[in-house]
A and B are shown apart, each in its own frame.
Chain A
């Protein structure tokens, strides 16, 4: 596709349920990033992938959060036993490669708005 896509756009779930959020990066982008943005706050980095590997998972807020990427393409962020504090917009971004410099700017998707009741 032309840009990063995410699904669903909105998700309402009950406390304690598991949710899966999907990200489809720009074709050919090897790097993929997940961020979280709580209402009225800045973006919080969660995890990044280089290819299908996630070298650093330290940004994930708890062990209820996990992510995977397959085929150097689609990524899924899974939140188990959701809590109300998990309510936020979850944003995915991709770039040609990991790191800074020309050509490695990150392109963001529209986000998934998660509401935990």
Chain B
């Protein structure tokens, strides 16, 4: 699976959009980009995933560049409860049998 690079930490004001970047320059054509988050002392929570097109759900939006070498997770109106570690993960459709390889992630702190 392709390796990902994320900033170690980010801050965001409550009510503003949080934009979390992820680089995955070695991604291959059949690999998906997944985002999970882990709030302190809880299990990871699935947020969103995509292959080529931008995706949106009730939690967030995922913007994938045309060359697929990077992506951005957008939380449109961050709240204090969005403070968590956010993980960007690349998974092959036909390899890795679904195993998730978690890196260090980005610590997002939402402040009042």
Question: Who on chain A is nearest to B96 by CB?
Answer: A100
The answer to whether B42 touches A105, judged by C-beta atoms less than 8 angstroms apart, is no
Q: Which of A11-19, A75-83, A108-116 contacts B (4 or more CB under 8 A)?
A: A108-116
Question: Which residues in A have their C-beta under 8 angstroms from that of B94?
Answer: 99
Tell me if A95 is interfacial: C-beta within 8 Å of chain B.
yes
The answer to whether B43 touches A48, judged by C-beta atoms less than 8 angstroms apart, is no
B60 to chain A, nearest CB (A): 13
Tell me if A71 is interfacial: C-beta within 8 Å of chain B.
no
The answer to whether A106 touches B105, judged by C-beta atoms less than 8 angstroms apart, is no
The answer to whether A98 touches B98, judged by C-beta atoms less than 8 angstroms apart, is yes
The answer to whether A107 touches B46, judged by C-beta atoms less than 8 angstroms apart, is yes
Tell me if B21 is interfacial: C-beta within 8 Å of chain A.
no
Name the interface residues of B67-94: CB closer than 8 Å to any CB of A. Answer: 91-94
Whole-angstrom CA separation of A101 from B52 in the bound complex: 12
Interface residue from B44, B98, B103 paired with A48 (Cβ < 8 Å) = B98
The answer to whether B102 touches A43, judged by C-beta atoms less than 8 angstroms apart, is yes
Name the interface residues of A86-108: CB closer than 8 Å to any CB of B. Answer: 91, 93, 95, 97-102, 104-108
The answer to whether A98 touches B97, judged by C-beta atoms less than 8 angstroms apart, is yes
B86 to chain A, nearest CB (A): 12
Question: Who on chain A is nearest to B50 by CB?
Answer: A102
Question: Who on chain B is nearest to A105 by CB?
Answer: B46
Question: Who on chain A is nearest to B93 by CB?
Answer: A100
Tell me if B54 is interfacial: C-beta within 8 Å of chain A.
no
A37 to chain B, nearest CB (A): 9
The answer to whether A33 touches B43, judged by C-beta atoms less than 8 angstroms apart, is no
The answer to whether A105 touches B34, judged by C-beta atoms less than 8 angstroms apart, is yes
Question: Which residues in B have their C-beta under 8 angstroms from that of A100?
Answer: 31-32, 34, 49, 91-93, 96, 98
Interface residue from B32, B42, B98, B105 paired with A42 (Cβ < 8 Å) = B105
Tell me if A65 is interfacial: C-beta within 8 Å of chain B.
no
Q: 11 interchain pairs (CB within 8 A)?
A: A33-B98, A42-B103, A42-B105, A45-B100, A45-B101, A100-B31, A100-B92, A100-B96, A101-B32, A106-B44, A106-B100
Residues of A within 8 A of B (CB): 4, 31, 33, 35, 42-43, 45, 48, 50, 55-56, 59, 91, 93, 95, 97-102, 104-111
